[in-house]
Amino acid sequence: MEITTKDFGQDFKWGVSTAAFQIEGAYDADEKGASIWDVFSMQKDKVYQNQHAKISCDFYNRYIQDLILMQSLNIPNYRFSLSWSRIIPNGIGKINCKGVDFYNRVIDFCLELGIEPWVTLYHWDLPNALQKKGGWTNRDIINWFSDYVSLCIQKFGDRVKRWMVLNEPMVFTGAGYFLGIHAPGKKGLTNFLASIHHAAMCQSEGARVAKSLRSNLKIGTTFSCSHIEPLTNRESDICAARKADALLNRTFIETLSGLGYPTKDLKLLNRIEQVVKAGDENKLQFNMDFIGIQNYTREIVTHSYFIPFINAKIIRADKRNVERKLMNWEIHPPSIYHILKKFSAYASAKEIIVTENGAAFRDEVCNGCVHDINRKKYLQDHIQQVLKAKQEGVNVNGYFVWSFTDNFEWAEGYHPRFGIVHVDFSTQKRIVKDSGKWYGEFLSGRNLKVEIEQKSELKLASQQ
């Protein structure tokens, strides 16, 4: 069944998402400080083929062209993040006016083009100077982060009305402080639990700071969410799936909702008490204006004696002989429907926005085009599932594609391409993929092919 934007209602928010470290480049330009990802990606064998993001999409120098391209696709909302170390190079102390000026220019140009900016305060690129003090394992980060949030709201809150405090806290704590596969590359349960609690504290405290400065702002935060099912109906598999769900999906939303850590289903989290201070339980809670969910796949879980702490093992997609994406993630559109239903059950989720959804495939440029039919179908199928949830009463009110352009995908480097716009990283040439053309047509209800080509020609002529 063909669907249109009208099926979602006039107030439904459509957009695309990106993140500062993944697209900006200009890693040391204009007095920017080093982030943990600047340092991590320079270490040998930490990133696919030792790739780095020193230039990436060069958005720092090409934001005008990219935003014009975004406008040509009729994309009305743009979610991007601020680089903490570009604004405050050492994380605390001296402000970098050039960094502030850059984001002012991006925000102002978005508004000039009729694109609403949605800003994420923290998308994984902690200033490295703060990591030297312990980073997310140091309780002082609650104050460091609060000061950073305060500055951002003072500088940009007059024009930016939608803010997200953290991006996927379970990912940056788990991958960065437990598994060590993401920056800053730390491992161990002690690091992990401390980083979880401090991130949960910052999640609520950052929102309180923002609201105290500008009560009219819409404040939210975002979670990585995978629909989880047991491999079999055996009680051991059901229990393992429950534990995985508690850790991956429930930890941060339940603390935010005033329910505390889900220790009943994941006794491991009882150990977090060693870093909890008196009064923290109340401070963890905050009534967000919206919740961002970010879903890409479904996970199948089985019991395993050999997995420490949770005795649960995720069965890889290639071991299950299912349709999958480049990163070995199963393609399972109903996953986003189930996640929307799950999160809508929390009273604190007054409004839900799908702040990320997308897919990486093996894109090829052929005669100046990228015919990414798999991505186009993926987006269509997932949008259909979002509509199904909305029609059943779920309070979902937005959908953002990850990502606008191909970019630096963390430890996977440039190998996975998620963009609806192809980037040749050697020339910085942009090509709107078929998925991007479809999304533009879907948002406008008309064929944009000729208009896109005309605007591109005008843009190039103006630069000559």
| Amino acid in the structure at residue 181 | I
- What is the Cα–Cα distance from 185 to 172, expressed in whole angstroms? 10
| Amino acid in the structure at residue 305 | Y
User: Which among 105, 42, 62 has a CA at the least distance from the CA of 423?
Assistant: 62
| Amino acid in the structure at residue 376 | K
User: Which among 391, 356, 357 has a CA at the least distance from the CA of 375?
Assistant: 357
User: Which among 119, 135, 107, 110 has a CA at the least distance from the CA of 39?
Assistant: 135
Contact 183, 40 (CB under 8 A): yes
- Annotation says 453 is catalytic: no
Total residue count of the chain as it appears in this document: 464
Q: For 330-350, give one letter per residue: b (16+ CB within 10 A) or e.
A: bbbbebbbbbbbbbbebebbe
Helix intervals (H) in 49-140: 59-72, 84-87, 97-112, 128-131
From 205, 254, 356, 409, the catalytic residue: 356
From 168, 205, 254, 299, the catalytic residue: 168
Check residue 122 and report its DSSP letter. Answer: E
Contact 44, 107 (CB under 8 A): no
Check residue 411 and report its DSSP letter. Answer: G
Looking only at the bridges linking them, the beta strands covering 77-81 and 162-167 are unpaired
- What is the Cα–Cα distance from 286 to 255, expressed in whole angstroms? 9
Q: Which residues lie closer than 8 Å to 25 by C-beta, 6 or more apart?
A: 53, 54, 55, 56, 57, 58, 59, 60, 61
- Tell me the torsion sign for CA atoms 361, 321, 250, 378: positive
Alpha-carbon dihedral 29, 110, 168, 34, rounded to 10 degrees = 10
CB atoms within 10 A of CB 184: 23
| Amino acid in the structure at residue 411 | A
- Annotation says 254 is catalytic: no
Burial of 327 from C-beta contacts in 10 A (0-12 / 13-18 / 19+): middle
Catalytic annotation, residues: 168, 356
